[in-house]
Amino acid sequence: MNLDLYRTPVALSAPGKHAALFDGLPRDVGALARIAQGLLIHEHMTEAYGVKLAPARHAEAHVRPLADVLDRITSSDPRPLSTSRAPEGRYVCVCRSFALLMVAMLRSQGTPARARCGFGMYFEKGKGYDHWVTEYWNAGEKRWVLVDAQIDDRQRRMFGITIDTLDVPRDQFLVAGDAWRLCRTGKADPKSFGILNMWGYWFIASNIVRDVAALNNREMQPWDCWGIMTQDDKQLDNALLDRLAELTRNPDENLDELRALYRDPRLVVPPTVFNAVLNRPEAA
């Protein structure tokens, strides 16, 4: 098990010139999640916090590097990260940014952590919603633990969430490969996995590719598309996806193969990806 791969902020999770902002933060995972909740606001849940977004603020959600996110947070409010911002002053993002900030904070303390892409089963009964969480290594218990830093008390009430979001059960957040395996074995309906009007095998497959990238420290946006991603189920490489689903189930046991496969041009994040929300190519 190569925990060092996930012990230091790198690439998109690196805070850059803002590294000192993480100094002195609490080492308690729950406290770190509350810090993320005090800095960030999900762009599709702002009204639940009494915030009406100006259209231009949706652009914040498309920023990929954490260093740039921290630039914007500190330029609008220079107080320490541990100081919760009012909802209207929080940085606009989606679930991926909550996961990435947690990864960066944990790694800055030497705790191995990584972002995982998959499906939350706790938002609506019978459906798996496109979602990102953080996975960190609990040294005392010698296991990886899933943490959903996005879910605060307000969202817990909104969605009727009763699970411990600081230790999410593996059947309540399915990494994309596990959702794929359930569907391929007839234990789940692929049409129950997705978001908005996008559901099915092709969506699950795209999340597998994003999860493989994240396991290789390239945590892309949920709408970034590249390589073998397609909206046509008939074009899916089921054999490759079956293998990726199996490897990502226990990534530490399969890390060498995962890293080798990630070099495949069909899977590796290229210099330019397609932003499916803004309908344009962008530098990755």
Express each pLDDT in 65-114 by its tens digit: 999 999 999 999 999 999 999 999 999 999 999 999 999 999 999 999 99
Task: Give the model's pLDDT for residue 261.
Answer: 95
Rounded CA-CA distance 17/48 in Å is 33
Measured distance CA(239)–CA(137) in Å, rounded: 30
**Cα 154 versus chain centre, distance:** 20
DSSP 85: P
* CB burial readout 85-124, b (16+ within 10 A) else e: beeeebbbbbbbbbbbbbbbbbbbeebbbbbbbbbbbbbe
Q: What pLDDT shows up at residue 57? A: 93
Mean pLDDT of 135-144: 96
Contact 244, 181 (CB under 8 A): no
Across residues 168-173, what is the average pLDDT? 97
Q: CA–CA separation, 81 vs 230, rounded Å?
A: 39
Report the phi/psi class of residue 158: left, alpha or beta, with left for phi > 0 and alpha for psi in -120 to 50.
Answer: alpha
The arithmetic mean of pLDDT across residues 208-229, rounded, is 97
The band of 124, judged by pLDDT with boundaries at 50, 70 and 90, is very high
Residue 1 is predicted with a pLDDT of: 76
Over 80: is that where the pLDDT of 220 sits? yes
223: left (phi over 0), alpha (psi -120 to 50) or beta: alpha
140: DSSP letter = T
**Quick one: pLDDT at residue 2?**
85
The residues that bridge with 40 in the sheet, in sequence order, are 91
Could you give the angle at which helices 176-184 and 238-249 cross, rounded to 10 degrees?
120
Share of the chain above pLDDT 70, in %: 100
* pLDDT class of 213 with cuts at 50, 70, 90: very high
Indicate the pTM of the whole model. 0.94
Task: Quote the mean pLDDT of the chain.
Answer: 96
Asked if pLDDT for residue 156 goes beyond 80, the answer is yes
In this predicted structure, what is the pLDDT of residue 257?
Answer: 94
* pLDDT higher than threshold 90 for residue 240: yes
CA 197 to chain centroid? 20
Percent of the chain surpassing pLDDT 90: 96
Question: Stretch 215-237: mean pLDDT, rounded?
Answer: 96
